[in-house]
Amino acid sequence: MTDVGKISFQDIGARLRAHRIGRGLGPEELAQRIGISRAALYRAEKGEITKIETLASISRELKVSLPTLLGVGIEYIPNALAYFERMRQVEEDADQIIGLFSPISYLVTTQRYDAILRSVFQESVPEERQGEANQILNILLQRKQTFERRRPLLVSIISTGEIESFLRNGLEGRHGLDGDLRAERRRAAVGEVRHIIGLLREPDIGIQLGVSPEPFPSTSFQITRSGAQSTLTVSPFRLGHNPNIAVGVGFVTSAPEAVDLHDGIARMLWERSLRGAAAANHLEDLITQANEKGADA
């Protein structure tokens, strides 16, 4: 569990901001609700917190516990918008990222994936939540830009089963798309897998990819290391095919036991995964099989 003596006020401010965004509150509205100035809230989100009463008031208004804001133990994240904002914050100073995300790590997707993901969200998210979906897309893009700028070491483990499903179904936000659009989305999925194949055959500096035939956890997770600090983020949310940005509770923790247990899972899957040319050939075979099945359908 996080030692109270190591609490970072800057991190508290970052959590505060993420939960405010997740609740759909602008800074002016939150400041007004708790009876402080916009400038005072801005300072709090920068980590300049002088009164515990102010933090307690913010905690009550955001419906998040003080321990969560303080980062003591497990920080529970009630929605996808706040979760991806917390991921963005955690990754800002990352030296290493170890990820198990379905179907593939967003950080190694192409620009075309970003464009299609916007259409996928439009298909899957109700009209009244499109604004939230657009905020998530913007946060995702910021994460990718930060990754490209900083270039931390990325270790990404990809599931064979997830790739098979991705190739079979394509990037779809809902069932019942017309045939031409479904075919286009399947081609987009093939394009993303071919991009991964290219990274496997000609590795990019700092990116290590493995393709695992082992059963994968039902939730995605990521371990982010910055200096001596390791942070675990666990996600029930899903991008790509049949996305879920509506339902679930994610969590963030630096508790050594939780980090070590998930690190053990990642190490086991990595050791048993295919890499390099062997992994690329395997993904080529999956594309061939998916094309054959598509022709028979």
Helix (H, G, I), strand (E, B) or coil at 245: coil
CATH of domain 1-72: 1.10.260.40
Alpha-carbon distance 27 to 62, whole Å? 12
- Residue written as token pair 């989100």: 45
Locate CATH 3.30.870.10 in the chain.
Answer: 74-296
- Judge whether 122 and 172 are in contact, CB under 8 Å: no
Provide the strand spans (E) within the chain. 74-77, 96-100, 153-159, 207-212, 220-226, 229-235, 250-253
Locate CATH 1.10.260.40 in the chain.
Answer: 1-72
Three-state secondary structure along 168-221? HHCCCCCCCCCHHHHHHHHHHHHHHHHHHHHHHHCCCCCEEEEEECCCCCCCEE
Joined together, the tokens standing for residue 141 give: 């893009």
- Banded pLDDT at 4 (limits 50, 70, 90): very low
Query: The pTM is what?
Result: 0.83
Alpha-carbon distance 249 to 234, whole Å? 9
Calculate what percentage of the chain has a pLDDT beyond 70. 96
Taking only the tens place, the pLDDT of each residue in 91-147 is 999 999 999 988 889 999 999 999 999 999 999 888 999 999 999 999 999 999 999
pLDDT above 50 (res 1): no
Domain at 74-296, CATH class: alpha beta
